[in-house]
Structure 1
Amino acid sequence: MLFTLIAFALAIGLLVTIHELGHYWVARRCGVYIERFSIGFGKVLFKRTDKNGCEWALSALPLGGYVMMRSNVPADAPEMLKNTAFEYKTLRQRAAITVAGPLANLLLAVVLYALIGVIGSQEPAAVLGQPTAQSIADYAGLEAGDRVIAVDDTAVLSWPQLRWQLLDRLHTGGEVRLSTQSKYGNQAEHVLQLPATSLDPDGPDPLVATGLTIATPTPFVRETVPNSAAFRAGLLPEDRLLAINGVEIQSAQAFVETIKPLADQTIQLNIERQGQPLVLPVTIDTHLDDQGHAVGRIGIMLGARFEMVNVRYGPIASVQQGLSRTADTFWLSLKMIGRMVTGQVSVKNISGPVSIADYAGQSARIGLTAYIHFLALISISIGLLNLLPIPMLDGGHLLYYAVEAITGRPVSDAVKLIAQRIGLGILAALTMLAFFNDFSRLIN
């Protein structure tokens, strides 16, 4: 629990600080006087005033931060003082300062995705398992062992990339072309006719519903039992188990079930050791099970792992991937919000701080790359949320400025007050919904 809370606080603290730094940086360049930049809220634990008069503070509650700009300067104040106040800046300057926070979050996501591309990440290969009979994948002619190399001419390197490319199409439906390479090296194209699917986090996986599943992880030897059949045959830890008497092994469980009726028989076991294929003769031992029946055992502790690929790009390609992934995620998230409004997507997809904290802890436990992925996704979410035209958010202020640009005069304080109440009501409702979804997931 403590680890999860630390991972969550670190993520939110970093992302909100970057957001506020965006506002700060542009405000300074527009000549706005910054009174305080606080990392966190509440009681100030440490503060320092720089040469420009800005107080940099570290506060007790590290879940965010804020920038306090000079404002509410009287109309009869000296011109020099007015020139340093936010409300006396031009429309373009005020809009630039406002939009800088969300853009900083989006830029951070580009940097994080690019960083992942440079350092590389180990991801499951986009190798398919056996399609469900009479499923969409089955009708398209896909087979177990097919490796997906492209979706509609977009290259795919891993299973997560395949899921990402299909996510939007799984909801809208339509025709999708998969380019594949069989386990024998033959390349082919398959056309999937996907029906429109409701994306409900409590419902079945829409990808599995099409018959597309990841290949069963390959069984391997974790450890051999001393003086067992495997030990005598020369099996070693990390040997991959490929086939018995020429019949491919589909899973660890299938291997166990195949061995059971072969007591006292000698089999030809195909394995892979350090990338090299080998065939070992193994004479299976006989053991009595709990019912006293003779069953075959060879004496190994089995493991299973997915085929992994190292997804890595050069510096330029990593930046391109960062830009593309950020833009795609932003656009897809925006479309999902629109579909929630129209009822096409379940509002159960909205997550609150409890779920986000849980994801923060899980991703941090998996490793640095997974945590960076999480940071990039949440950074995009913060940027998008703040651009929504809801009063009290950056997007609400941008809406005021748009009205001002059209009408030639600022939105009145009375209208802003009414809009703020509406915005507060919307945000309160969304917060309650998010918490409800969070606790529903915990209960279920």
Structure 2
Amino acid sequence: MTSFFGSVFWLLVTLGVLVTFHEFGHYWVARRCGVKVLRFSVGFGNAIWKRIGRDGTEYQIAAIPLGGYVKMLDAREGEVDPALRDQEFTSKPVWKRIAIVAAGPGFNLIFTLAAFWLMFMLGRPDVAPIVTAAPHSIAAEAGIQPGDRIISIDDHAVATWSDSLDTLAYALLGRVPLPVTVRGNDGRSRQLVLPLNELPPGQSVDKYMDKLGLDLNPVPPIVATVLPGKPAAEGGMRGGDRIVSVNGEPVADYVQFQQLVPKLAATSPQLHLVVDRGGTKLPLTITARHESLDGQPVSWVIGVQGMPREPAIIQYGPWRAMGAALQTTWDGTTRTFNMIGQMLSGKASTNNLSGVIGIAQVANASASMGLPWFLNFLAMVSLSLAILNLLPIPVLDGGHLLYYVVELIKGSPVSEQVMIVGQYIGLALLFTLMGLAFFNDIHRTFLS
């Protein structure tokens, strides 16, 4: 239940911040273009709070938090007081109407840049892009070895696992061979190609990642601490020892070692280990004990602790942070448009769409990771809102901009009948998109 309420809370925070910023863009530019704003609403439906400002605008928070709107004085919605006709929306030049409509997505882009800039200033904690590959997986067959560090993907340098994951996720949508440069434990770089074209069509990125078989940042099988008085200490193990094998089974990473100890000790507590100590292979015999260690459930233990994952943090000064924010925004924009194009062409599955439930889950997860990660999440959602609203779909900002471009070309406004038909088409498309995203959320959350 904590996760549920946390997801709901951070979803409301996310929508509240981004919707307010988007609608404030419309409001601010409308006021400066001389248009009277009747209502500024965050949310739809009945108001749960409202007040009238000194400018005569009604400000409200409504019960349904999935959006918002700015209601302007508009002759298409009823009679306009002759004294206020110079403040009416449709009486304004078309370039002013374009500016008012474009201001919402524009302010989302401004928010995206600001959030990324602050994130890079604060520093986003991450882990190094060190990987291993599951046996018989696509990554393993491509040549990924335990402890490989990803240097670049598709000629784009990566410094953290998150950088790698973002690039991989978009490449998986297209299912084309992906060049990767890695550096092994021996310090040598290797050029590999992940044959993503072998993946079956029509699946989500999550399923593709499972088939790819990359394990993020495995912990090396190195003992950091040997607890005094425990079996490992009694058997001669020391901090810094790299575990090579247990009972003849080779060990690739510390997680595998943690799984092998109880599995093998259940058959015979006496374990035969080989460790690498300063380049010399040493055999050790350690007798595991069936007990609780550090308050954990009773299990077969030998009394050692592994090394932490290698940390990586991206943090810049103000000027470089702005450059990184601009580049990240540009990369996110091009990737989003590429994804839309791939979905429309059928190359990428619509299973990758996420709705309110998915956004709520990611909001809660990113908030639990700290402010820089939540800022990263807000920036990406804000960018998605900007791009979505600019699509030429009636009822969205992009649809209105399309009408005004047509008006500029033909010299007169689009007919009311065309706008009504467009409204119905736009609503149908929008509800279809929302329904598909909601279905995907339900399937991922409850049926997968």
- TM-score range for the pair, normalised by the shorter chain length: 0.7 to 0.9
User: 2:243 — aligned with what?
Assistant: 243
User: 1:67 — aligned with what?
Assistant: 70
User: 1:435 — aligned with what?
Assistant: 438
User: 1:294 — aligned with what?
Assistant: none
The code of the aligned residue for 2:183 comes to Q
Does residue 1:45 correspond to 2:52, yes or no?
A: no
SS of residue in 2 equivalent to 1:87: helix
Matched-pair contact (CA < 8 Å) for 2:170–2:335 = yes
Q: Residue 157 of structure 1: CA displacement?
A: 0.3
Matched-pair contact (CA < 8 Å) for 1:223–1:301 = yes
Q: Residue 287 of structure 1: CA displacement?
A: 5.3
Q: Residue 404 of structure 1: CA displacement?
A: 0.8
1:178 paired residue among 168, 180, 195: 180
1:371 paired residue among 366, 369, 374: 374
Q: Could you tell me how far apart the structure 1 residues matched to 2:72 and 2:411 are?
A: 25
Cα separation, partners in 2 of 1:435 and 1:307, compared to 1, 3 Å: same
2:429 paired residue among 415, 426, 429: 426
Cα separation, partners in 2 of 1:199 and 1:162, compared to 1, 3 Å: farther
Q: Residue 231 of structure 1: CA displacement?
A: 4.8
Q: Residue 217 of structure 1: CA displacement?
A: 2.5
User: 1:230 — aligned with what?
Assistant: 232
Q: Judge which range, 337-346 or 224-233, deviates more.
A: 224-233
User: 1:328 — aligned with what?
Assistant: 331
CA deviation vs aligned residue, 1:139-158 (integer Å, no higher than 9, x gap) = 4x543322122234322101
Q: Could you tell me how far apart the structure 2 residues matched to 1:11 and 1:225 are?
A: 45
Matched-pair contact (CA < 8 Å) for 1:284–1:298 = no
Q: Residue 341 of structure 1: CA displacement?
A: 2.7
User: 2:295 — aligned with what?
Assistant: none
Kindly tell me the number of residue pairs found equivalent between the two proteins. 428
Cα separation, partners in 2 of 1:46 and 1:163, compared to 1, 3 Å: same
User: Aligned residues: percent identity?
Assistant: 33
* Structure 1 residues 210-225: aligned runs within 5 Å: 210=212, 212-218=214-220
User: 1:13 — aligned with what?
Assistant: 16
Cα separation, partners in 2 of 1:194 and 1:117, compared to 1, 3 Å: same
Does residue 1:394 correspond to 2:397, yes or no?
A: yes
User: 1:125 — aligned with what?
Assistant: 128
The code of the aligned residue for 1:49 comes to G
Q: Could you tell me how far apart the structure 2 residues matched to 1:278 and 1:310 are?
A: 34
Q: Could you tell me how far apart the structure 2 residues matched to 1:36 and 1:399 are?
A: 25
Q: Could you tell me how far apart the structure 2 residues matched to 1:245 and 1:132 are?
A: 17
Q: Judge which range, 348-357 or 98-107, deviates more.
A: 348-357
Q: Judge which range, 60-69 or 387-396, deviates more.
A: 60-69
Does residue 1:318 correspond to 2:321, yes or no?
A: yes
Does residue 1:380 correspond to 2:383, yes or no?
A: yes
Q: Could you tell me how far apart the structure 2 residues matched to 1:151 and 1:38 are?
A: 44
Q: Judge which range, 90-99 or 260-269, deviates more.
A: 260-269
Cα separation, partners in 2 of 1:59 and 1:403, compared to 1, 3 Å: same
CA deviation vs aligned residue, 1:341-385 (integer Å, no higher than 9, x gap) = 333222222222222222222322333333222222221221122
Does residue 1:81 correspond to 2:84, yes or no?
A: yes
User: 1:263 — aligned with what?
Assistant: 270
User: 1:103 — aligned with what?
Assistant: 106
Cα separation, partners in 2 of 1:283 and 1:333, compared to 1, 3 Å: same
SS of residue in 2 equivalent to 1:227: coil
Q: Could you tell me how far apart the structure 1 residues matched to 2:52 and 2:79 are?
A: 31
Does residue 1:148 correspond to 2:155, yes or no?
A: no
Matched-pair contact (CA < 8 Å) for 2:232–2:302 = yes
Q: Could you tell me how far apart the structure 1 residues matched to 2:237 and 2:139 are?
A: 40
SS of residue in 2 equivalent to 1:83: helix
User: 1:337 — aligned with what?
Assistant: 340
CA deviation vs aligned residue, 1:384-406 (integer Å, no higher than 9, x gap) = 22111111111110111121112
Q: Could you tell me how far apart the structure 1 residues matched to 2:419 and 2:288 are?
A: 82
Q: Could you tell me how far apart the structure 2 residues matched to 1:365 and 1:17 are?
A: 23
The code of the aligned residue for 2:95 comes to R
For normalisation by structure 1, the TM-score amounts to: 0.82
For normalisation by structure 2, the TM-score amounts to: 0.81
Q: Residue 249 of structure 1: CA displacement?
A: 5.2
Cα separation, partners in 2 of 1:35 and 1:234, compared to 1, 3 Å: farther
Q: Judge which range, 20-29 or 186-195, deviates more.
A: 186-195
The code of the aligned residue for 2:220 comes to T
SS of residue in 1 equivalent to 2:24: helix
Cα separation, partners in 2 of 1:221 and 1:135, compared to 1, 3 Å: closer
Q: Could you tell me how far apart the structure 2 residues matched to 1:199 and 1:365 are?
A: 34
Cα separation, partners in 2 of 1:4 and 1:207, compared to 1, 3 Å: closer
Q: Residue 23 of structure 1: CA displacement?
A: 0.8
Q: Could you tell me how far apart the structure 1 residues matched to 2:288 and 2:101 are?
A: 75
User: 1:293 — aligned with what?
Assistant: none
The code of the aligned residue for 2:405 comes to A
* Structure 1 residues 22-61: aligned runs within 5 Å: 22-41=25-44, 42-50=46-54, 52-61=55-64
SS of residue in 1 equivalent to 2:130: coil
Q: Could you tell me how far apart the structure 2 residues matched to 1:421 and 1:154 are?
A: 43
